[in-house]
Amino acid sequence: MRILKKIAIACLCLILILPQGAMGEAQEEIKLSADAAILIEASTGRVIWEKNADERRYPASMTKMMTGLLTLENLSDSTEVLISANAANTEDVPMGIQAGELLQAGELLNGLLMLSDNGAAVALAEQIGGSVSSFAEMMNAKAEKLGMENTHFVNPNGLTDSNHYSTARDMAKLARHVMQDEKFREIVGQQKQLIRWSLPKDKMLMAENTNELLGKYEGMTGIKTGWTQAAGGCLAASAKRGGLELIVVVMHAETPKDRFKDAEKLLDYGFEHTRLVRGVNKDRFRGQAWVKNGREAQVGLDLAEDINYVLIDGEEKKNYKVAYESQPVLAAPVKKGQKVGAAKLLYKGEQVGEVDILADKNVGAGSDWLSWLVGAFEPLFQRI
């Protein structure tokens, strides 16, 4: 009895001296090779699990998510891109591009995002920004806009540079954003794709995606691999099951294989501990705003997408609320799809997601009498 009493006292002391967070962390411990990682739900960005998510690491070729995004925003698929000597001579060009060759931007995007071709990244950067350094400025401006607070880019491909860094959290923000683009999703979801050159016309290459989880992990939808000696194994990966899509980022895994194993562990954990329930259907949302100095005095408001409630472990739907914040008076002209507010998703009062509120039609500048009144008595209409 005395021995049992001593053991009980020892166990009690151990519990009392443990840090408060240690018990919770022990319950959800996942052993990873990567020394930084994060798992989020895609529709809201809610964090399900994280490890050193705000510590700076080299992102390696996950950088190419940003390069691909800027390419889609600035070039059409059919834009012809001339391969410079600088692009052709870049380290690691699995496409085998050579100076003087010509490819359409869409073909280079396949090489960029599937084969992780560093030269393709340089060629696209030069086409869009005029130079790698100018393109890097565009990358950093976009990163700031996306709220990537601990990221700085100096090149379009992720080759190691002490001033080129990011975090798991920032890479997850980028991954979540790019996967909202249907063209981007299409490219990174391909296991194989034939790449054709414009010049020489007979040159082609069958590209195989470097993401080994495609076709192997249930529901895998993308996204981008990365590897350098300095960065270690990096991977941004996404998978979707039953309407629930998860995004995982791992950084600095010990080997290229470890990054995939780590991602599988985290995704398995996420699908086991997370469920998605219907919140607000965008087709049932009804909103309106006044328009001053326009051809019409009112415009309808739409939600950009459905609002779903993400429930992690024992969370309850009743703890969710949606706060709608939009501009009551808009100045003409108003464009269809223009962001005029946001529906903020709150869980126990804390914001965990946000969906844009958009104007549902164009309203040109004009002299509608009621719209004139809205402008003349704007403070009053602000309160209506």
Per the structure, the complete domain to which residue 333 belongs is given by: 281-383
Same-domain status, 252 and 287: no
Out of 61, 166, 326, 371, pick the active-site residue.
Answer: 61
Of 252, 276, 300, the residue that ends a domain is 276
Q: Tell whether 244 and 354 lie within a shared domain.
A: no
Return the pLDDT at 14. Answer: 36
Query: Does residue 27 fall inside a structural domain?
Result: no
pLDDT confidence of residue 172 = 98
User: Are 150 and 264 found together in one domain?
Assistant: yes
Which of 43, 116, 166, 326 is an active site residue? 116
78 is annotated as an active-site residue: no
Regarding whether 218 and 111 lie in a shared domain, the answer is: yes
Same domain, 71 and 118: yes
Q: Does 375 fall in a domain?
A: yes
Last residue of a domain, one of 276, 300, 327: 276
Question: How far is the C-alpha of 123 from the C-alpha of 103, rounded, in Å?
Answer: 10
Domain match, 42 and 106 both? yes
Q: Which of 219, 243, 276 is the last residue of a domain?
A: 276
Catalytic residue, candidates 43, 51, 64, 265: 64
User: Is 61 annotated in the active site?
Assistant: yes
Co-location of 317 and 376 in the same domain: yes
Task: Tell me if 47 is assigned to some domain.
Answer: yes
Q: Is residue 18 one of the residues assigned to a domain?
A: no
Question: Is the residue at 342 inside a domain?
Answer: yes
Q: Looking at the domain assignment, is residue 24 inside a domain? A: no
Assess if residue 5 is contained within a domain: no
The confidence score (pLDDT) of residue 9 equals 36
Mark whether 166 is an active-site residue: no
Please count the other Cβ atoms lying within 10 Å of the Cβ belonging to residue 344: 16
| Same domain flag for 348 and 215 | no
Can you give the pLDDT at residue 354? 87
pLDDT values of the chain reduced to their tens digit, one per residue, 384 residues: 344 334 333 433 333 333 333 323 333 689 999 999 999 999 888 999 999 999 999 999 999 999 999 999 999 999 999 999 999 999 999 999 999 999 999 999 999 999 999 999 999 999 999 999 999 999 999 999 999 999 999 999 999 999 999 999 999 999 999 999 999 999 999 999 999 999 999 999 999 999 999 999 999 999 999 999 999 999 999 999 989 999 999 999 999 999 999 999 999 999 999 998 988 999 999 999 999 999 999 999 999 988 989 999 989 999 999 999 999 999 999 999 999 999 999 999 999 888 999 999 999 999 899 999 999 999 999 888
Q: What's residue 314's pLDDT?
A: 86
Residue 265 and residue 374 in one domain: no
The domain that contains 270 carries what CATH number? 3.40.710.10
> Does residue 54 sit in the same domain as residue 146?
yes
CATH number of residue 313's parent domain? 2.60.410.10
Same domain assignment for residues 154 and 249: yes
The answer to whether 153 and 127 are in contact (CB under 8 A) is no
Domain count for the chain: 2
Q: Tell me which residue of 367, 363, 282 sits closest to 329, measured CA to CA.
A: 363
Q: Is residue 60 part of a domain?
A: yes
| 66/134 same-domain check | yes
